[in-house]
Amino acid sequence: MTLLGAAAVVLAGRVCRPGWVQISGGRIAGCGPGDPPQPADLDFPDAIIVPGFVDMHVHGGGGASYAAADGAEIARAATFHRSCGTTSTLASLVTAAPGALRDAVAALAEATRRRVVAGIHLEGPWLSAAHCGAHHADALRAPDPAEVDALLAAGDGAIRMVTLAPELPGSAEAIRRFTAAGVVVAVGHTDADYAQTRQAIRAGATVGTHLFNAMRALHHREPGPALALLEDPRVTVELIADGAHLHPAVVRRVIDTAGPHRVALITDAIAAAGAGDGAYRLGGLDVDVVGGVARVRGTTTIAGSTTTMDRVFRTVVGDLGASDEALAAAVQLTATTPARALGLDDVGALRAGAAANLVVLDQDLRVARVMADGDWQPFATLDPVST
């Protein structure tokens, strides 16, 4: 059993100064505000402890891709993001041919069983050609029941979320099939109108994939999918708060409107995250990263991001006012809300019985230590005080 003390701990939606967390057998045995109930084994007198980040939309990082269908490369991407505080990763796959997609799903299913990632997100291939973004348009297709069943079988329970365009033929049946299998359905990369989006929500869709990006724009006479997703309390909306996909004012307004309990900040990171500018591949497309912004080669189309969850956390705290209220909201946005949206009951918050996934942040909100399932990860810049 290990008892941690810190200058601050975020518990139950508030910042406790000081606070403590006790770890036993990979789980949180107890936590609370104030000084630890006994001398701490490790004390972080100038740091804040927050839940491990939950990134529900990420394609790779550290030069590695989750689509590689290679266990070592999958682990390399997950390890990179874990060093940035993401202790639960939903590995996202872009549009691919049926065979390649099944192979990638099977490889990620094995990684899920080994707890390298928390599950799989299929972002395609059932997307709108009008809003395909950085997806290979030639590989897009309408949902086919046989392919849906084949992918569910290959995933063997590891597929946790699917993004689709609800205006495509066969989408209603696909939504029913996925929700019956316990898979979260997200609306995204879509040209659906307001009514079609509301119909998808009634059918069981509960997430909006990177709101505003790669979907029909909001118009005062045709509000489209964004307003339908925003106004329904059953829906969690993703936002890419990397400074390139959305203006900070839009991020703030969506958080103010929907509330942190309905907004999940994501990275949408590709292999280039942590690997620098240069040439990359994403789902069969050539991607160039210049100044940290990824774009499909020869176009202005943004192709995912190069950000990480710790950077997203720092950015949103600053945008929301750099207060204790902002810190608590940032925890909700980067951990608690995405965990709830995905049905991950044992992560996303520091509470007794939850998995011991946590991040120690220094005074500048930079990652100092990361714990996943009770084990300190091989990354540290801030030494605790042993007592």
Per the annotation, does 69 bind a ligand? no
CB 117 within 8 A of CB 107: no
- % of the chain exceeding 70 in pLDDT: 98
Q: What percent of the chain has pLDDT over 90?
A: 96
Q: Do domains 2-51+348-377 and 53-320 have the same CATH topology?
A: no
- If one looks up domain 53-320 in CATH, what number appears? 3.20.20.140
**pLDDT digit string, tens, across residues 187-203:** 999 999 999 999 999 99
**Which residue stretches of 181-223 are H helix?**
194-203
The answer on whether 174 is annotated among ligand-binding residues is no
252 is in an annotated binding site: no
Which sign does the torsion angle of CA 120, 125, 129, 132 carry? Answer: positive
| Superfamily of domain 2-51+348-377 in the CATH hierarchy | Urease, subunit C, domain 1 (2.30.40.10)
Inter-residue contact 164 to 174 (CB < 8 Å): yes
Mean pLDDT of the chain: 96
Please report which confidence band the pLDDT of residue 387 belongs to, taking 50, 70 and 90 as the band edges: very low
In the beta sheet, which residues pair with residue 286? 281
Residue 284 pLDDT: 87
Helices (DSSP H) in the chain: which residue ranges? 71-83, 98-113, 145-155, 171-180, 194-203, 224-231, 248-258, 309-320, 324-331, 337-342
Q: Is the pTM of this model over 0.85?
A: yes
Which band of pLDDT confidence, cut at 50, 70 and 90, is reported for residue 378? Answer: confident
Q: Does the annotation flag 339 for ligand binding? A: no
Helix and strand element counts for the chain (H, E) = 10, 22
Query: Which of 191, 232, 268, 310 is an active site residue?
Result: 268
Consult the annotation and say whether 245 binds a ligand. Answer: yes
Based on the residue annotation, tell me whether 268 is a catalytic residue of this protein.
yes
Mean pLDDT throughout 248-270?
A: 97
Q: Where are the domains of the chain?
A: 2-51+348-377, 53-320
Query: What residues have CB less than 8 Å from 321, skipping those under 6 apart?
Result: none
Nearest to 123, CA basis, from 59, 200, 215, 55: 59
